[in-house]
Structure 1
Amino acid sequence: KTFYLTLSALLSVASAQSHQYYFVNTLLTWTEAQSVCRRDYTDLATIESTADVDDFLRTTSGYTGKAWIGLYDDTINSWTWSLNDSSFYAGENSFRNWQPGQPDNYLGQQHCVQFNGSGGQWDDTRCLDTLQFVCYNGAVGGSPSYVVSNISLNWTEAQKFCRENYVDLASVRNQTENEIIRTLIGASTVWIGLYREKLWSDGSDSLFRYWADGEPNGPSGDQCVAGSFNDSGRWSDESCSLSLPFVCYKPTSAQSHQYYFVNTSLTWTEAQSVCRRDYTDLATIESTADVNDFLSTNSSYTGKAWIGLYDDTLNSWKWSLNDSSFYGPGEYSFRNWQPGQPDDYYGQQHCVNDNSLGQWDDAGCMETMQFLCYNGTVGGSPSYVLSSISLTWTEAQKFCRENYVDLASVRNQTENEIIRTLVGASTVFIGLYREKLWSDGSDSLFRYWADGEPNGPSGDQCVAGSFNDSGRWSDESCSLSLPFVCYKPSALLSVASAQSHQYYFVNALLTWTEAQSVCRRDYTDLATIESTADVDDFLSTSSNYTGKAWIGLYDDTLNSWTWSLNDSSFYGPGEYSFRNWDNGQPDDYYGQQHCVRFSGSSVNSLGQWDDAGCMETMEFVCYNGKYNISLFYYFVNTLLTWTEAQKFCRENYVDLASVRNQTENDIIRTLIGSSTVWIGLYREKLWSDSSDSLFRYWADGEPFDPSGDQCVAGSFNDSGRWSDESCSLSLPFVCY
């Protein structure tokens, strides 16, 4: 293989500037170190590149031992299915059928799962063992179809074989499927698609690893990771109870937003729609440098303008204990509100108390009351400690984190009853609280309130920045009409983005799937290209090759469908993945059918769907929220393209209609009669590394090929422009 590398001086700077590391010379266990980092910084260090390793090493000049970083092992909760498509599982991705005492991670090396045919139970084993395996081959007549191999391979080879010849290694979603596979394999022991990776404390999905020779080496108790200051920053797995210094991080600020002042007076929701249509979103402001840029958008205006911050009194609640593995399906969203609560009285109630009846209401976080701490599990049940002192919510959170685990989360009615019994007649703080949200989903906690703000009342749930008060913010009624500020990623961000990917040209002829496997094994993934600067870096990986090379963009006609109304709280378990395809659909006829139409009571179809070209024109159905608890749809008998219909619905109602279940499907079918209409389902090509970048760089006439051409290549003789190609074609490829 021949590897070509493009790396500018700015790359290490950009990488360094995504994390600001802090060495803390205090000996703590991994869990204690995590608590300190989360309290005083962002989290334990996430390290995603060799440039990050260099920055890690620079945090101290005198220490030569090991220090905790954010990587850790969770033998119970970090299991993942090879078939990584949430719509496939409809809430069933957590089904497990472990043999008693499993998984045990024997000798710290068991990261894959074997299925024992004799009892239908599972245990963890080494991924390098060789076994027969079961592939999933789609559904036939509504039932899953499986294929048992007659050869033995290691887990990674088996995964590759299944992906190339069928769909993927078998997922087992429930006991019924477990029984089907047990019957199919007889007395054999086979691979299934379950495996696990170590996790980052901050939830990063980075697959970068920097192990020392012979690491990770177990034994099974060594589930936390340390970096060595006397071995070039290389990592080893250690017992989490060991006391070591540690390295925390904070994200560094960057001028990541290009702001645009729009001198049209609109409500906040109208402004959001315009920004999303013409730019990226309403302005997200994450630093005082961003505030200065916001102010520089207009030199003459002295009033207020909408930004992207807003309040959602129902859906923005979070638990203080922010560990997804702690919550089972549906448990993070369990609520037991008192009737009429939360009401955000005077716009100041952002924390939650639990009263003597076990019911909750929102309260001011600056009130003082007793509180309840969570202290782990005892005998399989949660352990709680009731305070004997009264503190504000923030003080209570700090007290619980320093002395126990955190303020109490309440995951279900059983735990609610335990707490009600424990607190008696008291009213106590629990760990539920809320922050205002950014329109673009940013998790920035930067705030720049004017004196006395936010001040309510409860109807003031949207935020404006003032051009005559140094950019300071106030909460306002969302129905107020104001100018507004939008943003796009800035030119400087484009440079940083270009240099956040280090590209490698691999001069070996492989299919797209083979190339993906090599990139994931030896680098991070196939190249994600998010800007013209990235295109330039892609081209500079090879000076003499003039053909095409695989990049990470691909098409998935079954699993890449998305609803226009992109609000996870709107969809119950399994509802986001509800589909009612007509027979043989979707078929992506001529590779151009990326939107979905709904056929009413016609001769050939009764409320069934098929994919269609988004540039076709037809009537459509908008969703307009609820009326007396029932869904409210509007049938619009104007012929528009899908994008025009989406724009119309967003400007006049909520969005194009989502169809979450058969009941809603029947409501729409009755509403439209014999018409054929647009609904909100559509799809985009996907990036192999799951990036959500919408940057595209198609060659003239592309993409145009028939539906079999579902993978994308960049051309070294056409300025890096892209074309869709058959995934089975053998080409060189570019990793990052």
Structure 2
Amino acid sequence: MIMIENRWIVRKGTQTLYLLFISGFCSFTLGSPDCHLITMTKTYTEAKTYCREMYTDLATVHNSTDMANLITIVPSTIARAWIGLETGDVWMWHWSWPDQKLDFLKWKVGEPQMKNEDACAAMDQQGEWIESDCGTQRSFVCHGNSDISGLIFVAETKSWRDAQNHCRGLSSYLISIQSAEENEAVHTVSASQNVWIGLFKDSWKWSDGSKTSFRYWKPRQPNNLSGQDCVAAIFRDKGQWNDLKCNGKRFFVCNGEAETANNLMTPNTTDLVSSTPNTELNNATTEMSTVTPTKQPPNTTAQVTTDSVSTLTTLMGTSAQTTTPSSTLKPTENSQSFPTDNLILIQENMTWIEAVGYCREHHIDLVHISSKDIQGKVAETAKNATSLHVWIGLRYTCKFNFWFWTKSTSGCYHNWAPGQGSERKYDCDVTGAIEATGRQQWVGLPETEKLNFICYVCTG
């Protein structure tokens, strides 16, 4: 994740100097390297050389969480920046769900076709796999949650890319198949129709050698035009990726521990969106530093610096219909809010992700509880809730089995209910809530439940 804590703009005459205070890391996972937005313009090759000399390499985006962090944190004034994806010489098949092994194959005789071009895989009526043009319209199967047998069949026909985006909108992925039993289950749920599965072929590779298959292309990209062998994230376009000619000079993102902190540069203003007058501060100065997160032991409430809102959710394509844009998430006229100091209870039931979006759109963030004093204020505020529990800014990672606040919070305070927190292991997509009544302790609940929630508010 890249976190830009503050941005100052100093303008003298016609020259604009952007000074960025940057700290953060590429992913919320423990032990991941620092990630740095470099505000100088370089060609892709120059940027890669710089990153390898000053840090480790150009940034790799491993999953939807990493991408959501970039979209959430990088300011809209940054038009585009190089990331570490480039064309390679080998065309490979990947599952769209990152880090899934390609151990099981069920190709039809004569498949796949040995062509050096982008392609996607479908399951035919006999349950065998065929290579297909990714633009073909088909039904498809997404991974589901455990309460729906792990599969979601979508009868509506879409291109492979639109099907992928639809699954991402469900906080899921197009199905990846790891065994004959799973293949038969997909064949059964598809009612013997030709359906998309999550297998695709391309020649893109990551500069640092990572094998992650995560892709986040703009519509109709990559267009694979001659010389467009390097990739930039287009932050004016929701951070979606575009293949571009490598000799273009752009900002870029490095990962790894910094060799030096001297990264304050005067950017080329052609790579910036114009700033509004209220962002201009005369004679402003700022100091840049890099903060490396401290590794936390497992089964604790980890204080990890992150804005990972899982998949935010539609990092994720225009076809996703599972969430409402945060700008439209407003309490109804009949709902009430109860401010207590710098806290406000929103008496409107939303999912955890919707609540995060609402708080960040209209206030600061979901509340974080780092002390007994704050717990007392939150508990008092929660008493007015119309739901049995109230969302707080706490999230669980099932991969590493620990809890973390959505932004860094100092202190080690916790107030888990018996049997909750570090005492148990949860399913994925679980987030934190406080009991509205009783002992008002913390519990883990599925993020899709709809509850009241408490936001931090600006007090002046």
Tell me the TM-score range normalised by the shorter chain.
Answer: 0.3 to 0.5
TM-score (structure 2 length as normaliser):
0.44
Larger radius of gyration: 1
